[in-house]
A and B are shown apart, each in its own frame.
Chain A
């Protein structure tokens, strides 16, 4: 059956321009917020132009940059530990049954506990500064990487391993040249999940520790009922989150391209 021929009208014009529609939708929302926000009580609500003005002031006096740095340094360290440690742990679980059976109760139990529940304990043990934040981020972000890496190693099909065996590859060569590359798409999906959780982790840790960073800015502004300044770190976190997720997805698409294309080809 042939596709219906559409007359090129306003509908077709708009359908081909999704970004135009997105910009208009966001602009409309900001305009409505601005209009109604101005008449709301400034103790409970703010509006876009006031937030923009507050952001400008916070950028000028350096408090915004200082908070971003104070958040992103532990975030970077925490994510590095999560990625390296999560892959290593997942690989060990996927490869050695002794390690798998000995540690999967801990992985499952820790995965099941809302890690936020551990935050007070962690801050008691590891402090309010970088050490505490890093520990909280790693405790939250490492698990999807462990679990995905483990699943990826376990998923490698026997047929794939047999290729290595048939050509006389050693166990070690089969692991590095077949199992690990085959697991990369799984590992990247785990890292993508971990980045999202890591951002939650950094904000939660800073709300608790109330010592520094974007989470601390949110808390302080809320305590002062300065709703305009309250929104600035929220917007900053949103922008950072989008940028980081885009970055990971870019890398993921590159490294997992073969898997997507294979699946398309198989018609799955």
Chain B
């Protein structure tokens, strides 16, 4: 077990691909596998901000939704004929949205940040709701075509569920590579320094607010890509993509899997979706059970499934997840640490 965990830690991206290439055949149906990829990517983006930078956003539905609507509107209403064009517009929408909202939210630190992100996401939800003639409002945005993937000298149709899955896997894999690159870079180290002690990072000469803002935008871009892929996959953008429940979901997924660990978000997204899938067969009140499980994790297993596993199985020599085992006490407020 320990050796396997060690290999995974040394070649995380390789194992990521190996696992997800066979993944659709391990779950009951392809749809679930695709959902895990999309929501895993969404949680990955959220985790960059919460797990690595220490900023709890309760409004990530905004960027997921902006990505989804950006791509959806481009393909369904603006009649963009290239899938890449649709994706690019989705990413741009999410990125610009994250840049503006991030700027406003970062004017307040600490607990205000969570409340502000939530409020701005709700603002976007109500705007989406009111602009029904553009967004489809309550009915969702319909009529998104499934365009083929155009590569130089090659056009791949995405008609079959499996082709769509592997296309999404390719893009999610690229995003995972990108995130790995970000976290391994000096910039990634500064992010974690901010999480551990923002004042000290500032004293070291880093422009903490600008770096937080950058992390916010990156995080929004990952969430936006997840939203874009969701629009392409579902061929509809439901208004719930912007609703606060979508923000809550990613918080729960990330914490279940393990915030601040590289693969935790994917583990959490998979656990959440499989649990939802199983529970909703038996009871309409599956959210009650997931809510209780989530509370149990906050109270007793704050490192989540993957975080706890990594901590138990890995000896300290690993270089890939040096932060997975470290505790996060450095982030607690002076008020809180004065407590028993």
Asked if chains A and B come from one complex, the reply is no
Chain B interfacial positions (CB closer than 8 Å to A): none
